[in-house]
Amino acid sequence: MVRKVTVIMNCINEREDFLTEAINSYLRQKNVVMQLIVSTVEGDDSINFIGRYWSSTDVLVVAMPRDKHPIATGVKSPKGSFLQLNNALPYMKGDWFCFASSNDIAYNNKCADEIEICIKNEKEVCYSSMDLLKENGRKYENVPLQDYDWDYHLKRNFVADCSMIGKRLVDLYLPFHTELNNYAYWDLWLRIRKVEGNVFIYNKNPTWGYRQDNDSMHVKRKQSKELQRQAQMDKEDMLNLHL
């Protein structure tokens, strides 16, 4: 049986070569019916770029009002990313969902493998090992994760943002809580676990590559004590909701 999956790819001020690789990596997914949504903001260059190379049936572009997004103040922030995800969720048609970044690369069987692992093991979230990629897209390190453990999850998030989620959970637990900024995905996983129990399954085989470049928000955070301080406060606020 061929599964239907919706991938929401966030994009804002992205390099065209990175965006091209990211889009094509999801359009090439095997053994699934793919709905690829690129979620951006009004006026972003990606809108015209995507329109030149892909049809709306291949890539659906959803753009939120610019004045509703933090980029209007010149800031690229995690909150903006989750606002974009929430804005695209009503367009979802698949039975499964995953997030994608506009500079990461999915391997050809990412979606099909993660869905089948969920079904085979009677789980609803599959999180996979990932590869770290250099700016040129070459792999330089694999990041293994671990089997699900609640106590450890309260200390560190090891469930990747790009994990596969069944639609039942999407309907029950989304949209994201954007006020939690960079910790909205971690919060989602904890909310699911508290109510549903262990519906998580770890796939040790890498299914995607996480590209590292100087414009990445996590890189900028490492370079700024103020951003690190804010992130720590956000983390504490989020965990206090679950302790």
pLDDT in tens, 3-17: 999 999 999 999 999
The CATH number of whichever domain residue 130 belongs to comes to: 3.90.550.10
Region of poorest pLDDT, from 1-5, 138-142, 171-175, 223-227: 223-227
Q: Average pLDDT in the 78-88 region?
A: 95
Question: Residue 141 has what pLDDT?
Answer: 95
According to the model, what pLDDT value does residue 228 have? 78
**Greater pLDDT, 190 or 72:** 190
Measure the CA–CA gap between 148 and 76, rounded to whole angstroms. Answer: 31
Write down the pLDDT at residue 18: 97
User: Quick one: residue 50, left, alpha or beta (phi over 0 = left, psi -120 to 50 = alpha)?
Assistant: alpha
pLDDT for 212: 81
The stretch 59-88 carries a mean pLDDT of 91
Q: What is the pLDDT of residues 15-28, one digit of tens each?
A: 999 999 999 999 99
pLDDT reported for residue 231: 85
Confidence of residue 214 (pLDDT cuts 50, 70, 90): low
Residues 6 or more apart in contact with residue 167 via CB below 8 angstroms: 92, 94, 95, 96, 97
CA distance 200 to 126: 6
pTM over 0.75: yes
Write down the pLDDT at residue 76: 67
For 51, list phi and psi in degrees, rounded to 5: -60, -25
pLDDT at 17: 97
For 66, the domain range is 3-240
Distance CA 136, CA 206 (A): 19
> Mean pLDDT in the chain?
93
Confidence at residue 73, expressed as pLDDT on a 0 to 100 scale: 77
pLDDT value at position 218? 53
Total domains in the fold of the chain: 1
CA distance linking residue 230 with residue 131, whole number of Å: 28
Q: Find, among 153, 133, 150, the residue nearest to 216 by Cα.
A: 133
Judged by DSSP in three states, 44 sits in: coil
Lowest-pLDDT range, 44-53, 105-114, 224-233? 224-233
Mean pLDDT, rounded, for 170-199 = 97
Q: What is the pLDDT of residues 90-104, one digit of tens each?
A: 999 999 999 999 999
Tokens coding 186: 């971690």
